């Protein structure tokens, strides 16, 4: 402000004049605040599901880990499929094989001359054939996709065989066309190949009915699992000499149990029971059995 009075003094008029004049004030905009840098946060990796590492088995451990693979795994998968699919029931009956024991003894010499060992199994197979023909639903399979039952007019008998690698089922094709000596030789041959792991794929395919024989091992009877997609399997068990009642008298006879496990979706219990009775009828009647084996 400049005064208008003597020697540049500021007067009252100067003050009033300045006070009444508009004043422009240049205001500098404040600088925008500078944000402090945010420290970088570490990126969290997704936590994987915990995976239990296989526990090593040391020399002092009382447990051993064995991988389920190869033949054992195939058997496990096949049995699981059968168990999940088949409505399985087992029927057990008793058979007096005293006459069969004598018949086998009579044929053992002829079998030896042919270079084969004659077991009871060829006789069982021959007794099965007329029963399978009379009860065709036992020799069938169920087509899951179409819902049709496939009745088979050929008789390929699977023989469950115990091997070091597990249970395998080589197949005797067209068993109805072979006599007991042919069957005995073929059973011996395929059993040896099974134990040596030399079976061809064709030798384990195409069975229509299966037999499993645990009699040599022991036990009273078992409930074998159906060899899916078949609908039935016959269990053969130990032949033992036991006292039984025959004609009102107690006699010591060669007796065994036969167990038929079957798919109840295809076979009814009465049908399965009649089938087993038919097999036993042939095994207990020498004349009927001879008509089949010769």
* Catalytic sites, residue numbers: 264
Residues 163/169/173/177 CA torsion (nearest 10 deg): 80
* C-alpha to C-alpha distances, 141 to 33, 168, 206, 212, 213, nearest whole angstrom: 85, 20, 11, 18, 22
Token digits of residue 227: 């060899």
Half-sphere exposure of 268 (CA within 13 A, CB side): 3
Do the strands 171-172 and 209-213 form a parallel or antiparallel pair, or are they unpaired?
unpaired
Phi, psi of 71 (to 5 degrees): -60, -40
Q: What is the DSSP letter of 102?
A: H
DSSP classification of residue 58: -
Q: How far apart are the first and last CA of the chain?
A: 148
Question: E strands, the chain, where?
Answer: 88-96, 140-143, 148-151, 157-163, 166-168, 171-172, 209-213, 232-236, 240-246, 249-263
């Amino acid at each position: 402000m400049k005064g208008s009075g003597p020697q540049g003094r500021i007067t009252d008029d100067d003050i009033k004049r300045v006070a009444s004049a508009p004043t422009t004030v240049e205001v500098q905009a404040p600088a925008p605040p500078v944000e402090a840098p945010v420290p970088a946060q570490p990126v969290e990796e997704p936590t994987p599901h915990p995976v239990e590492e296989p526990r090593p088995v040391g020399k002092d451990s009382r447990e051993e880990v064995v991988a389920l693979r190869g033949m054992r795994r195939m058997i496990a998968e096949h049995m699981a499929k059968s168990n999940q699919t088949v409505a399985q029931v087992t029927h057990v009956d008793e058979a007096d094989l005293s006459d069969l024991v004598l018949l086998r003894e009579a044929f053992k010499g002829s079998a030896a001359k042919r270079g084969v060992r004659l077991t009871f199994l060829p006789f069982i197979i021959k007794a099965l054939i007329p029963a399978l023909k009379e009860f065709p639903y036992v020799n069938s399979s169920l087509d899951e996709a179409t819902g049709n039952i496939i009745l088979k007019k050929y008789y390929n008998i699977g023989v469950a065989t115990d091997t070091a690698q597990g249970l395998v089922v080589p197949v005797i094709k067209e068993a109805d066309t072979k006599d007991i000596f042919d069957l005995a030789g073929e059973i011996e041959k395929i059993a040896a190949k099974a134990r040596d792991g030399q079976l061809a794929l064709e030798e384990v395919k195409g069975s229509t009915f299966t037999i499993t024989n645990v009699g040599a091992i022991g036990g009273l009877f078992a409930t074998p699992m159906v060899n899916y997609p078949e609908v039935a399997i016959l269990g053969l068990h130990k032949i033992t000499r036991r006292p039984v009642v025959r004609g009102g008298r107690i006699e010591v006879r060669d007796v065994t149990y036969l167990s038929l496990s079957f798919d109840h979706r295809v076979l009814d219990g009465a049908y399965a029971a009649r089938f087993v009775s038919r097999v036993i009828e042939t095994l207990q009647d020498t004349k009927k059995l001879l008509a089949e084996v010769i």
